[in-house]
Amino acid sequence: MCSSPGATATHCPYCALQCAMTLTVSGPGAASSSASASVEVSGRDFPTNQSGLCRKGWSSAELLKHPDRLREPLLKNDDGEHHPISWDRALGLIRDRVLATRARYGADAVGVFGGGGLTNEKAYLLGKFARLALGTSRIDYNGRFCMSSAAAAGNRAFGLDRGLPFPLTDLGSARTILMLGSNTADTMPPFVQHLQAARDAGGLIVVDPRRSATAELTSEGRGRHLQPAPKTDLALLLGITHVVIMEGLIDEPYVHRRTNGYDDVVRSVAPWWPERVSSVTGVPARLIRETAHRLAEPGGTYILTGRGVEQHANGTDTATAAINLALLLGLPGTPGNGYGTLTGQGNGQGGREHGQKADQLPGYRKITDPAARKHVAGVWGVPESLIPGPGLPAVELLASLGQPGGVRCLFVHGANVAVSAPNASSVLMGLRSLDFLVVCDFFLSETAAEADLVLPVLQWAEEEGTMTNLEGRVLRRRAAVSPPPGARSELWIMARLAELLEAPSSFPDDPETVFTELRAASAGGLADYSGVDYAMLDAELHDAELHRGELHGRELHDGGAGAYWPYPAGSSGTPRLFLDRFAHADGRAVLHPVAPSSSAPFASAPDGVLTLMTGRLLEHYQSGAQTRRVSDLHSTSSEQALQIHPVTAAGLGILDGAEVEVSNERGIVRAVARLSPAVRPDSVFLSFHFPGTGNANVLTSSETDPVSGMPEFKTTQVLVRVHRPAQSEVVGV
């Protein structure tokens, strides 16, 4: 829907805040929205961003006319170079290779790797395409690297996983907000305005081993920064919980009425008194006690977690400990209070709800549930037996590439695993060992560069669809410009390939038609979208812009467009979950006892060994395949930089600006040293946005959380030294 001629209301292509923006097309070609037209970005009034955008959002339109844009299918020939081919030849080649692979190795030798940036329509159809057109169980997606631990913890505690089970604007009335492992000031800057009330009350508490931009928000009496040693967040949470229980700070009526498992949790935290926790984490016992008491004070309290505490081999347990604390304080489902986790990728929420996860079917249904299989098979019009069982989570899927009994032919949609996957050198070897690799992308990413066949697809401002943001709010993505003539929608690609592969069921390529089918497939599931449709989302936008009032008797929650799931047909959606009951059969939440695998102080690493932490920068997003192509963003942050404490650097003979090597048994990364007291002396920090010799994930481990499959991204042991060029690198040699 356009709010004025030449202006299209849509949402940012980057993070899960999904800031509202207006794209205005002008200049030559504006009438037809052609590639020659100029596109201007402006912020649009919306609850999540309130007209604000970050640097990435303001510059997002630059990519629409970028010279690196892929405009035709590319086939890698024997010379190792990509050469243009026709769409007919590309699709025919895929059909032939899929059929040959299935005939020789079986259907599970074909794999699919999806992405948390795909629209709901594409994520849904990709899951259906994998299971029916390809016949494989081998599908997972890069959300396994993002939300899987938080999702696993939410499901076992609440019976349902939605990042924020309340509107983001609810935070605006909070007196206390505990943020664990989240640097929103850099990763989603417009989010920060929702923290203002807590800051003004001196109640913003940030837990982070780094003095991040978000931790800086606690300065000048606006809160406190707890700086535990890396990978000791779980112990810290147990210490805070110990105080809450032992000093009588729990909400006893709530715990008695709404939870199960209290006694087991009491026993599990008994050994974690504050002084012991202090010896493990480095956080003073006084601050542990003060934090517990602050969280228990009235006036509105929220606990929020992010990737910093979740991207660990014990990430599910750490997220569970945060939920236990929130439940004991009576926060979830209590108006003015709450617990939530901050989804990272643009459609990280919707992307994990409708079928591209290894173990799920649309509507957040378990693929092993006979009733779920029967329902989805009925919507698809196929025998239930045609739907494969669960596949492999992402790290296992990537480890199987080219291996005996593993995946031989791989499709990649919306992901850049050559940069973003853990133990990236091993993943790169796996990609190169495949018999056939197909990558759908709009730029020649590092993963696309490895592909046998690259298919050019649409960018965000060229397509229609829906996204689901971090609040569980379903939003409309709208096309503002026409794509290059050679690019195709991934829905179109899957529809054509399904036809060539003689797949059962139908594969529409119209986004609204796909969404209508998604609604039916999700009906009755935990993530029920059956009551949402395009007309409603368009009408809500129109009404919000003109009236900020009522639409057909339904409240416009927060004065904004979108619809909160679960949204069964005939309902008005669910902006706030758990007000009356949790999603378990008895309506109660479940407290799960958890404990660290080690209680030793973290500082016991071998001499010279430092802990590498990884994360995002303000200027970049995910693997950087898009933001590294934006001139303004790239000029600000154009190379990998190692954040290292001045005392640590002095001991290693490292000067600010020196080129250094960061290494372990998996590889070596080169970076420029940036001395900063923001990191602990026992730690260093790299971003994960850079490829090649700057790829931090060359160093990270393939170790995963046993519950969620989340990789251990955040703590890796490394050595750091000044880079000394080999003789061949010296100029003139």
R_g (Cα) of the chain, nearest Å: 25
What CATH number has the domain bearing residue 429? 3.40.50.740
Of the three residues 484, 507, 530, the one that is the final residue of a domain is 507
**pLDDT classification of 550: cutoffs 50, 70, 90:** very low
> What mean pLDDT comes out for the span 24-34?
69
How many Cβ atoms are within 10 Å of 301's Cβ, its own excluded? Answer: 25
Domain match, 166 and 138 both = no
Does 224 map to a domain? yes
Residue 422: its pLDDT value, please? 96
Residues 207 and 296 placed together within one structural domain of the fold: yes
**Residue 660 belongs to a domain:** yes
% the chain with pLDDT above 70: 93
In a domain, 586, yes or no: no
Dump pLDDT digits (tens) for 93-137: 999 999 999 999 999 999 999 999 999 999 999 999 999 999 999
Is the four-CA dihedral 346, 349, 351, 354 of positive or negative sign? negative
Q: What is the CATH number of the domain that holds 630?
A: 2.40.40.20
Q: Tell me if 81 is assigned to some domain.
A: yes
CB 684 within 8 A of CB 612: yes
Residue 595 above 60 pLDDT? yes
Q: Do residues 196 and 337 share a domain?
A: yes
What pLDDT was estimated at residue 557?
36
* Residue 46 shares a structural domain with residue 192: no
Q: How many whole angstroms separate alpha carbon 596 and alpha carbon 259? A: 23
Q: How confident is the model at residue 544 (pLDDT cuts 50, 70, 90)?
A: low
Answer whether 120's CB lies under 8 Å from 414's CB: no
Q: Do 133 and 152 reside in the same domain of the chain?
A: no
Between residues 217 and 550, the one the model is more confident about: 217
Name the residue type at position 191: F
pLDDT at 542 over 80: no
Domain boundary among 65, 86, 102: 65
Exposed/middle/buried for residue 618 (C-beta within 10 Å: 0-12, 13-18, 19+): middle
CATH number at residue 192: 3.40.228.10
pLDDT on residue 119: 98
When pLDDT is averaged across residues 389-409 and rounded to a whole number, the result is 97
CA separation (Å) from 174 to 207, 208, 298, 337, 498? 18, 21, 10, 7, 50
Helix (H, G, I), strand (E, B) or coil at 408: coil
Q: How far is residue 381's CA from residue 383's CA, in Å, rounded to a whole number?
A: 7
- What is the pLDDT of the chain when averaged over all its residues? 93
pLDDT band at 344 (very low <50, low <70, confident <90, very high): confident
> Span 449-470, mean pLDDT?
97
* pLDDT over 60 at 32, yes or no: no
| Domain final position from 323, 342, 361 | 342
Residue range 14-27, pLDDT digits in tens: 999 999 999 999 87
Candidates 471, 492, 482, 473; CA nearest to 536 is 473
Beta strands 716-722 and 610-615, pairing class:
antiparallel
What backbone phi and psi angles, to 5 degrees, belong to 622? 50, -125
Residue 186 exposure: Cα atoms within 13 Å on the Cβ side: 20
Tell whether 122 and 157 lie within a shared domain: no
Residue 521, in any domain of the structure: no
Query: What are the helix (H) ranges across 443-510?
Result: 490-500
More confident call, 33 vs 307: 307
* 266 shares a domain with 119: no
pLDDT the model gives residue 379: 98
pLDDT over 70 at 305, yes or no: yes
pLDDT at position 129 is: 98
Report, as an integer, the average pLDDT of 679-703: 96
User: Percent of the chain having pLDDT more than 90?
Assistant: 89
Residue 352 sits in the same domain as residue 236: no
Distance CA 370, CA 641 (A): 50
Number of structural domains, the chain?
4
Q: What is the pLDDT of residue 620?
A: 94
Q: Are residues 318 and 353 in the same domain?
A: no
- 106 and 204 in a single domain? The answer is no
Residue predicted with more confidence, 4 or 656: 656
- CATH number of domain containing 34: 2.20.25.90
Residue 245, C-beta contacts closer than 8 angstroms, at least 6 positions apart: 265, 266, 269, 328
Residue 43 within a domain:
yes
Q: Does residue 731 register a pLDDT over 50?
A: no
pLDDT value for 6:
79
Same domain for 318 and 406: no
* Residue 410 within a domain: yes
Instruction: Answer whether residue 512 is part of any domain.
Output: no
**Whole-number pLDDT of residue 142:** 94
The reply to whether 61 and 92 lie within a common domain is no
Rounded CA-CA distance 53/21 in Å is 8
Q: What's the domain range around 416?
A: 74-143+348-507
- Residue 281 near residue 231, CB atoms below 8 Å: no
